[in-house]
Structure 1
Amino acid sequence: MNEQKTAILIDSGCDLPERIRKKYDIEILPLRVIYPEKDYQDGVDINPMMIYQRFPDEIPTTSTPSLAEATDKFDELRDKGYEKVIAIAISSGLSGTYNTLRLAASEYEDLEIFVFDTRNISSASGIFAIWAATRLQKGESFEEICRKLPEKIGDSKAFFYMDTLKYLQHGGRIGRVAGTIGEALKIKPIISCDENGVYYTVAKIRGARTAKLKLAEEVIRYSFGHKTWMILKEGDAHAEAAAMQELLENHEKLVDKQILFEEQITATLALNTGPGLVGVVVMRDPDE
């Protein structure tokens, strides 16, 4: 525990693997994956490959943690001796988790809780937890970190290439991407989250190879001139993600970058995006 007795909590949609959570002392609240036979806890008793193996015949749904689960987690943190919590949630435009955490936090007088809506998804949300953890390690105060977090929203972005949009459509999460893609024409989208935390189309490209090059181009455009942290994400597409990582590592325009890790997406994101996803998360100017 840090000297300030401040916990950092994420929901599992923030998509940080266990080894990273342990490294930065980050707590997690799982979302749920719902099949007819059982509700599973994301990252606890279900993983992405279990989802992919049941595609396309079975497409599960997701659920936010319940209010009771959120309060149980806050109780657990308080019982561990924490006095403050920075609770980081995926976009309120895509999930109800932020509102659940806010409602749960309002019940506490003996635990100071800041609930942060990242307006983003996957590790583009989780990267805020890494940022906050490094600030705590440097001795920055809870109040200062909470003040700065909203200011960093404009410096964090995820760019995803998807092989198909049918799983995003099935989950009702398609936002401003709706109506823009012609599957029959093999047009592939590059998507991200807008300022309201809703999916939108960054670019529409014909063909997978060209789309992945466009993904790299968008990452470079967003990153150029900044020191950056990057995270590589993939959905049953390890070779493609490795190729993307090599391209970014060797690109002459990306001279001050740190690739934090490469990892498969979490189960709740896998069911909404399907196999064949490659993504890059960028945080600009992480020292600021």
Structure 2
Amino acid sequence: MGKIAILADTGCGLTDNYLEKDTYMLPLYVHFSDKSYKDMVEISSNEVYEKMDREGLAKTSIPSVGEIKQMIEKIKSDDYTDILVISLSSGLSGVHNAVCMAAKEEQCINIKLVDTKNVWLGTGFFVLYAQDLLKENPQISIDELYEKVNNIDNSKLYFYLDTFKYLIAGGRIGKVLGTVGTLLKIMPIIACNDEGIYHTVSKTRSEDKAIADITDRIKEFVSKNVGKKHYIAIVYKKDERLLKKIEEILKDEIMSAVKYIKYDVVTPALGVHSGPGALGVGAFCY
């Protein structure tokens, strides 16, 4: 009988308290001028923001193919026969392709890769779902697990930012769009498209309208999947007032959710590109 491990990267936005024993995490890297740090291992979100205030903007990078191979060897040494890899969007990061390269050289373990075409908790949902499937059916095959998890239409994540400067610096959004948006005080609602690339789904001019837009989209997504189970996630930029407002709007969806996840800030490497003012709401239906 096979034994399945889940391998994700810290771009999925999940902290250790949401991870099961069969789940392994590849850390991304956060780089400042003087030192590099393993995401969520050697640096916290608050430390990232404090250092950016003092030292200027940071950069991020993916683990090397060699580091990925070492992780695969670790999983093999723990007696796993199969690995389900769940990565953030290949349209936004090279980590998926790096794992593909490492996997091609592996002969003694079966590896299946899921490109979620999403980011942050939009990717984290897939990890949670895979964990739940393994708990419900420990005898599930890697092929069946892959078939169930590999559906990008299950996950929706919408977010907005207080400022574009971090996305601009990281090359994740066009400078013209960023500058114009800042000057006009436009607050775009951002999501990943079918290719896993950031795109603007709507534009608003106030935080209240942005929250109304995002929560309407989440309500519509859940209602279209009536009869299915769902997860809900909120990241609320340390603003309890906004959290309570969103929870009130989505109270029915939260009460009926199998899992409700909330974070006050995004994880460190993601925060390099979003800044501390990112607010997002996501749902996963299955």
Aligned to 1:50: 47
Counterpart for residue 210 of structure 2: 211
- How many angstroms does 1:168 deviate by? 0.7
Residues 60, 238 of structure 1: alpha-carbon distance in 2 compared, 3 angstrom cutoff: farther
What is the aligned partner in structure 2 of residue 95 from structure 1?
93
Question: How far, CA to CA, are the matches of 1:190 and 1:37 in structure 2?
Answer: 34
Pairing 1:132-281 to 2, within 5 Å after superposition: 132-139=130-137, 140-150=140-150, 152-174=151-173, 178=177, 182-226=181-225, 227=228, 228-250=230-252, 256-263=256-263, 264-281=265-282
Q: 1:29 to 1:238 in 2, by over 3 A?
A: farther
Which residue of the partner structure matches residue 62 of structure 2?
64
Query: What is the CA distance between 1:74 and its match in structure 2?
Result: 0.2
Supply the distance in 2 between the matched residues of 1:176 and 1:216 (Cα, whole angstroms).
28
Residues matched between the structures, number: 279
Identity, in percent, stands at 32
1:94-147 deviation digits (Å, cap 9, x = unpaired): 000000001111111111111211100011111111111111222232111112
Q: For structure 2, which runs of at least 5 residues remain unmatched after alignment?
A: none
Asked if 1 retains the 8 angstrom alpha-carbon contact of 2:168 and 2:174, the reply is no
CA deviation after TM superposition for structure 1 residue 232, in Å: 1.3
The answer for the alignment partner of 1:8 in structure 2 is 6
Hey, what's the Cα distance between the residues in 1 that align with 2:175 and 2:132? 34
Q: Distance in 1 between matches of 2:176 and 2:24?
A: 32
TM-superposition CA deviations, 1:17-67 (whole Å, max 9, x none): 110014x64210000001111110000011111111133451100000111
The 3 A distance-change label for structure 1 pair 180 and 241 is farther
> Contact 1:240/1:278 (CA < 8 Å) preserved in 2?
no
RMSD: 2.2
Unmatched 5+ residue regions in structure 1? none
Q: Distance in 1 between matches of 2:3 and 2:14?
A: 22
Give the stretch that moved more between structures: 212-221 or 63-72. 212-221
Q: Does the CA-based 8 Å contact 2:29-2:63 persist in structure 1?
A: yes
Instruction: Name the counterpart of 1:77.
Output: 75
Aligned to 2:84: 86
Partner Cα separation in structure 2 for residue 74 and residue 39 of structure 1: 23
Q: Secondary structure at the match of 2:246?
A: helix
Q: CA deviation at 1:175?
A: 6.5
Contact 1:161 1:188 in 2 (8 A): yes
Letter of the 1:245 partner, please give it: E
Return the offset for 1:230: 1.0
